[in-house]
Structure 1
Amino acid sequence: MDTVRDIMNKKVITVDRDKTALDAAKIMTQYEIGSLVVVSNGKPVGIVTERDLVRKVCTIDTISNKIPLAEIMSSPVISADPDLPIETAVQRMFNNKIRRLVILDNDKLVGIVTASDLAKYVRTRSLLDKMFR
């Protein structure tokens, strides 16, 4: 049975909880990504997405370099163990209405699984099934 370890992205970009919305936006732009895991003392405490920036920063009349990430991040982090079956991870994401699942191994950040990762996995499995029928 395939697990999230098989499809997770092991290169997770993080941002410190003490940074601002502007800092997060700059990092996302630099790495061309749509989310950052927010950490405090190296431990994941939240996640901030492009959607958070649009809905919680851009839609109000404020200055992004004055908004702490702690005010806009989603918290607590919804996470999973790397050995969790993919089907269970999908259900967890669906139940929590999230598009990104942080992967922790003994409370250490080791990866992230996104809805796009899951779509690629399903597409690949479907193609392989068709090839070997």
Structure 2
Amino acid sequence: MKTVKNILQNKSASIYSVNPDTSVLDALQVMMDKNISALLVMEGIDLKGIFTERDYARKIILKGKSSKETKIKDAMTSDLKTVNPGTSIDLCMQIMTEKHIRHLPVKEGNQVIGMISIGDLVKFVIEDQKQTIEQLQSYISS
């Protein structure tokens, strides 16, 4: 069975986060600098939420709030779905589809060890299918 662990092995171990009192503007700067579309919101090692481009569009821009003055804690999504390294790729895709989310924090016990995106899942599935096709072609031609 293919799991989150398989994806994390091929990803950078970097975890990008801000604390709840960070301004939305500063969080957006981190997102731009790291070329990412979501940031974890952490207090020490405690996962408090996630802040995404979607949160920015819906909770800041469309409501006319100030990015400089609004804190991440007032714009983040705090009702989080998380997965662990043993969670199957299929279940991750199901969660993302049903909940209309694009990122899943990965926890081992109480500690955040990474985050996977829908892009990570799609890339993994495509690579896995490519390997299966190559194996089948090799089997057929031998």
TM-score range, shorter chain: over 0.9
**TM-score w.r.t. length of structure 1:** 0.92
3-state SS of paired residue (2:28): helix
Alignment gaps of 5+ in structure 1: none
**Residue in 2 aligned with 1:55?**
58
Residues 28, 34 of structure 1: 8 Å contact kept: yes
Residues 15, 37 of structure 1: 8 Å contact kept: yes
**Residue in 2 aligned with 1:64?**
67
Which runs of 4 or more aligned residues in structure 1 lie more than 6 Å from their structure 2 counterparts after TM superposition?
none
**Residue in 1 aligned with 2:2?**
2
Query: Percentage identity across aligned positions?
Result: 27
Bigger Rg over Cα: 2
3-state SS of paired residue (1:18): coil
3-state SS of paired residue (1:101): strand
What count of residue pairs does the alignment treat as equivalent?
A: 133
Separation in 1 of the partners of 2:90 and 2:112? 21
**Residue in 1 aligned with 2:80?**
77
Which structure is richer in relative contact order (CA contacts within 8 A, separation 6 or more)? 1
CA displacement, residues 3-50 of structure 1 (integer Å, 9 cap, x when unaligned)? 101103432201101111111101101111111000123211110011
Separation in 2 of the partners of 1:117 and 1:84? 14
The amino acid across from 1:56 in the alignment is: K
**TM-score w.r.t. length of structure 2:** 0.87
* RMSD (Å), alpha carbons: 1.3
Separation in 2 of the partners of 1:21 and 1:63? 8
The amino acid across from 2:2 in the alignment is: D
The amino acid across from 1:33 in the alignment is: I
3-state SS of paired residue (2:105): strand
**Residue in 2 aligned with 1:96?**
99
